A and B are shown apart, each in its own frame.
Chain A
């Protein structure tokens, strides 16, 4: 018995993949040819698994702002927001997030993980209750475990099951935090937020929504699922990331609760880490503005998503339950998924391979994320790459 014994299953699967000559996890991007094309693991591929939803990673204005910030403010902040790491740009970004979301308070974090994990671990502690969607992201689970509250799961996207859980809690809903996501990262399905908000209003508690995969994609202004569902006032805390639609790294929380300013001083993932680098904040600020100025990016994203979704469905693959910028193909057999991921690379498409326990079920996924920067021709090439996989056997394998 040694400390390393528990890693044996990982060691085994790595050896298996190496023997097959496939390394889907930590695939190395050697060169970018554009925001949507690059050389990955030696293959020239269309990037169809990078969460670069609005395609802003190489936007000239974002790059220029980042370069200027490096020149004027240096490469890093070298400290926590609580000490020396609050620069005027961090404060401006927080103000801009407040203006964008129509909220009074906001906090900028160093990563999306730190934002979700930090809010989940800080808002509810011993004696409190957290009721969360069963398919919540690892950062949510990690946070709530750390906080010490009682944790209860409800069935994925099932507002009736949430209602059951809240009803059983009785008066304890007064100190209950409900956590859901806007768009779920693996299958791209949306939370029924109007129903969830209704249940919350009926039984009490606070509602936190992680809009990591929905910022910039849904709602008239791109504020996410809460805006699209018309329940922004019922959501107590919105958290999210700068690493997807805003093409940088970092996270945020916005709220109308004045207590957020006090909570800021209690969040360990905010206090005990260095603040985001000036270049990151600068490009994020520009991206946030561009996202608002260019609604056409959102339109193009959805049109690309629809095209890919329809194309894969027509080929006979089992795709996600609803159209979204995340289009996931479900495959029953893990080995089949690995082989197909490899084949897609050889046919010029990079997607994400997701295997249990990262996938929500025992199935594996070939997860595509669509970008506004994909051309129609690139979307068709992704579909063509999938067409080489003998989709009829995919259907059988999924049934």
Chain B
């Protein structure tokens, strides 16, 4: 199972093209309020992570995620 930093790296890679000019991505970047991701884009982000790491990410973790850090931390906690 990948660790926190591997998840983080991948998340940054996926989000990079979506970040507005001048916005520097970091662990505290908020996915919806700051990056402006729509619900569809959040699901695409999840799918890309699933495909890359060959894992399934339950939707149940989504309500606890606001920042890039929250997402990486939740992914690290997954038990498969």
Q: How far is the CA of A378 from the CA of B58 in the complex (A)?
A: 46
Stretch binding the partner chain, chosen from B2-10, B11-19, B22-30, B36-44? B36-44
Of B38, B47, B58, B80, which is in contact with the most chain A CB atoms at under 10 Å from its CB? B58
On whether the beta carbons of A151 and B40 are closer than 8 Å, the reply is: no
| Of A152, A155, A165, the contact of B59 (CB 8 Å cutoff) | A152
Q: What's the least CB distance linking B37 to chain A, in Å? A: 12
B 23-80 contacts with A by CB, 8 A: 38-40, 43, 47, 54-60, 80
**Which partner residue on chain A sits nearest B63 by CB separation?**
A145
Of B39, B43, B56, the contact of A168 (CB 8 Å cutoff):
B56
Nearest-neighbor residue (CB-CB) of B62 within chain A: A151
C-alpha gap A150/B56 in the complex (Å) = 11
Give the size range of B's interface with the partner.
Answer: 10 to 19
Is A152's CB under 8 angstroms from B40's CB?
no
Q: Is the CB of A356 within 8 A of B47?
A: no
Q: Is the interface of A mostly helix, strand, loop or mixed?
A: mixed
With known contacts A155-B47, A168-B80, A361–B40 Cβ distance under 8 A: yes
Q: How far is B60's CA from A292's CA once the two chains are assembled, in angstroms?
A: 42
Q: Is the CB of B43 within 8 A of A357?
A: no
In the complex, which residues of chain A have a beta carbon less than 8 angstroms from the beta carbon of B38?
Answer: 356-357, 362
A221 at the interface (CB under 8 A from B): no
> How far is A150 from B54 in the complex, measured between Cα atoms in Å?
18
In the complex, whether A134 has a CB less than 8 A from a CB of chain B is yes
A357 surroundings in chain B (CB, below 8 A): 38-40
For the side of the interface on A, what is the size category? 10 to 19
Please tell me if A381 contacts chain B, counting CB pairs below 8 Å.
no
Give the CA-CA distance A153 to B62 in the complex, in Å: 13
Chain A residues within 8 Å of B39, by CB: 357
**How many contacting A-B pairs (Cβ < 8 A)?**
31
When distances are taken between beta carbons in the complex, the residues of chain A under 8 Å from B40 are 356-357, 361-362
Contact A168 to B60, CB < 8 A, known contacts A356-B40, A357-B38, A357-B39: no
Q: By the criterion CB–CB under 8 Å, are A153 and B55 in contact?
A: no
Instruction: Knowing A168-B80, A357-B38 are in contact, say whether A151-B43 is a contact too (CB < 8 A).
Output: no
Is the Cβ of A151 less than 8 Å from the Cβ of B55?
A: no
Interfacial chain A residues near B56, Cβ < 8 Å: 152, 164-165, 168-169
Listed residue (B38, B56, B59) with the most chain A CB atoms within 10 angstroms of its CB:
B56
| A361 CA / B80 CA spacing, docked (Å) | 29
* CB < 8 Å neighbour of A151 from B47, B54, B59: B59
Given the known A-B contacts A356-B38, A361-B40, A362-B40, are A151 and B60 also in contact in the complex, defined by CB atoms under 8 Å?
yes
CB proximity of A199 to chain B, nearest CB, Å = 14
- For B54, list chain A residues within 8 Å (CB): 164, 168
* In the complex, chain B residues whose CB is within 8 Å of the CB of A361: 40
Residues of B within 8 A of A155 (CB): 47
Question: A164-182 vs B: 1/0 string, CB under 8 Å?
Answer: 1100111000000000000
Check A152 against B58 for contact (C-beta < 8 Å): yes
**Assembly CA distance A356 to B59 (angstroms):** 20
Q: Which residues of B contact A (CB under 8 A)?
A: 38-40, 43, 47, 54-60, 80
24 A-B residue pairs with Cβ-Cβ distance under 8 Å, sorted by A, are A145-B59, A150-B58, A151-B59, A151-B60, A152-B56, A152-B57, A152-B58, A152-B59, A153-B43, A153-B59, A164-B54, A164-B56, A165-B56, A168-B54, A168-B55, A168-B56, A168-B80, A356-B38, A357-B38, A357-B39, A357-B40, A361-B40, A362-B38, A362-B40
Query: Known pairs A168-B55, A356-B40. 19 more at Cβ < 8 A?
Result: A145-B59, A150-B58, A151-B59, A151-B60, A152-B56, A152-B57, A152-B58, A152-B59, A153-B43, A155-B47, A165-B56, A168-B54, A168-B56, A168-B80, A357-B38, A357-B39, A357-B40, A361-B40, A362-B40
The 4 closest A-B pairs by CB, nearest first: A151-B59, A150-B58, A152-B56, A165-B56
